[in-house]
A = this chain, B = another copy of it.
Amino acid sequence: MVRVQGGKVSSISEAENELLSADQLAESWRLACRTVVSGKVSVYVPAISTVEAPVLQLESLAVTIKPKTSIRTFSLSVPPASLTDQRADLQRVAEALQQQHGIANARADLPALSSLREALREGDWNIGVGLRGEEIIDAYPGAVLTPVGLAVDVGTTKLACYLVDLATGKVLAAQGAMNPQIAYGEDVMARLAAAMADPANALRMQEVVVKAVNDVARELCATLKLETRHLLDLCLVGNTAMHHLLLNLPVRPLALSPFVSATSSPLEVDAATLGLNAAPGAHAYLPPPIAGFVGSDHVAVLLAAGFGEDNRTRLAIDIGTNTEIALQVGRRIVSCSTASGPAFEGAHISHGMRAAPGAIQRVTITAEGVVKLDIIGGGPASGICGSGVLDSIAEMRAAEIINERGRVIKGRPGVRLQHDGLPEFLLAAGSEGLRDVTITQQDIDQILLAKGAIRAGIDILMNHLNVKAQDIDDINIAGAFGSYLDPRNAIRIGLLPRVPLNRIRAIGNAAGAGARMMLASTEARQRATALAEQVEYLEVTVYPGFQKYLAAGMRLPAG
């Protein structure tokens, strides 16, 4: 599915009339396979329409989860009702729980009462029940099931879902999916704008993301021969916009200065209220966002990385379109958010591509300007992936092909002019019908903007807390980007402060890990809430000298 933004294409086919909604057609969405192009057209290809299945980072640093939950399941044999024993269903089940499992004062809210009523009769008075504390939240005929829950990292682009055994804290299955809200805008601000433009958009975004979670949950449950109606607990983390859209909270105050969130408290809501498929009485737990641009996913990252557990000097960075940075010094943790843009995610890079066969992933350039490439799969180069871009910039700087301000120096080996007169550097000459792969001045500018924003955030936090590079005990890079980042080059281009390389570690999808911890442990929830309260949010754009920090952050140190 693509959106035709301009140019002449064939009229809408029968298949499209059938498969696309009136709204979609009105917004110029088309099926690429049914649309004939006549002349120059401008087409938007949403991430969801990319050919390859999305690679989602589901792994993360090994967090050991000590489950501490009030969720349990029990098998029950209940005495049948009769004219001489007309006790209500609930009272009958409560007494059986007391007698067979020593659980006193069991109770049930409305949705669980219905399931209880039907399970007792379908199961011939032998049922399995799921409890949260003393509250019955699920009942079904037959044998008892393992207590399971779902942890979800609701990313702007991707969802990562984990099916967790609540008794052991172990991940039973994991799966990712694209966030279908992408049809309403690629980044957070576009989605907030869509929500403000029309409340129907906000409602629809709520529905589609919930449907996506339900779909993945159903597939995950199926691998264990379970149904989503047996999910006894859920924990969802995300940036503050995702949090608000998921809850259908008004977003205008979040989108406009001074960018205020509705709450910075945790929320526990009936899963059914949000449309999430789960056990009748299941709750969905949403840890607190910290501020408008620092969400509960950041809280989850800090929790998984063990922030707040010691007094060391620690940096955590979650690189994305918005990059959240936290600096811990002693008992203080200060966080900020910087608008780093999508360059580090590979967007807007001329020959950018995913780390797939044909992608340049390592680049070396000798002082003489001789380029050596490491191409995934060994074949000819068809593009360049994130690590290749970082390498290129570090090496080009070392070989003095670009200067401190990132300007490509005309006349240096490999440098040539593009059609528009701006210089570019040739990495790989086209062969076998493939284009040349180059790094353009525009690519470098994009990367430097992103790097500048992130480094400015780091430097402001360090200045704010009076920390020097050598004081930093560790730097934790969360998210997909951290996994392919070469720490040496990250320092060489000045993305990170100059620390010993072994202090830099990629922690993978730490937000997902934190979500799993909170799912399985009330103690982790309390720790996360305490963390969220402890974290001081710093608005970097009003920090004295912000522009100076930004300019300095964009500079490329001598190789």
Contacts and interface: CB of A to CB of B under 8 A. Distances in A.
A86 B249 contact: no
A269 B109 contact: yes
A261 B82 contact: no
Given A86-B539, A542-B83, A542-B84, A265 B110 contact: no
A116 B262 contact: yes
A273 interface: yes
B253 A108 contact: no
Nearest to A84: B542
Contacts of A269: 109-110
Contacts of A247: 110, 113
A425 to B, nearest CB: 41
A431 interface: no
A113 B262 contact: yes
Contacts of A260: 81, 86-89
Interface in A61-118: 81-91, 107-110, 113-114, 116-118
Interface string A196-217: 0000000000000000000000
A121 B256 CA distance: 13
A257 B88 contact: no
Contacts of A261: 88-89
Given A249-B114, A250-B117, A253-B121, A86 B263 contact: no
Contact of A110 (B114, B117, B273): B273
A267 interface: yes
B539 A108 contact: no
Task: Kindly name the residue among A81, A82, A110 whose own CB sees the greatest number of chain B CB atoms within 10 A.
Answer: A110
B263 A91 contact: yes
A289 B113 CA distance: 14
A248 interface: yes
A253 B292 contact: no
A537 interface: yes
Contacts of A541: 83
A250 B265 CA distance: 36
Given A81-B258, A117-B253, A249-B117, A265 B86 contact: no
A291 interface: yes
A91 B267 CA distance: 13
Nearest to A106: B265
A85 B269 CA distance: 28
A263 B539 contact: no
Nearest to A261: B88
Contacts of A542: 83-84
Interface string A234-275: 000000000000011110110001111111110101000100
A250 B83 contact: no
A549 to B, nearest CB: 17
A86 B118 contact: no
A388 B514 CA distance: 76
A326 B259 CA distance: 61
Given A121-B253, A253-B121, A258-B81, A263 B90 contact: yes
Nearest to A81: B260
B117 A265 contact: no
Given A81-B253, A258-B83, A259-B86, A91 B265 contact: yes
Contacts of A109: 267, 269
Given A114-B248, A248-B114, A262-B113, A89 B253 contact: yes
Contacts of A114: 248-250, 262
A87 B263 CA distance: 8
23 contacts: A81-B253, A81-B258, A83-B539, A83-B541, A84-B539, A86-B291, A86-B537, A87-B260, A88-B260, A88-B265, A89-B261, A89-B262, A89-B263, A90-B262, A91-B263, A91-B264, A91-B265, A109-B267, A109-B269, A110-B273, A113-B262, A113-B267, A117-B262
Given A85-B258, A113-B249, 8 more contacts: A83-B539, A84-B542, A86-B291, A88-B260, A90-B265, A108-B263, A113-B267, A121-B252
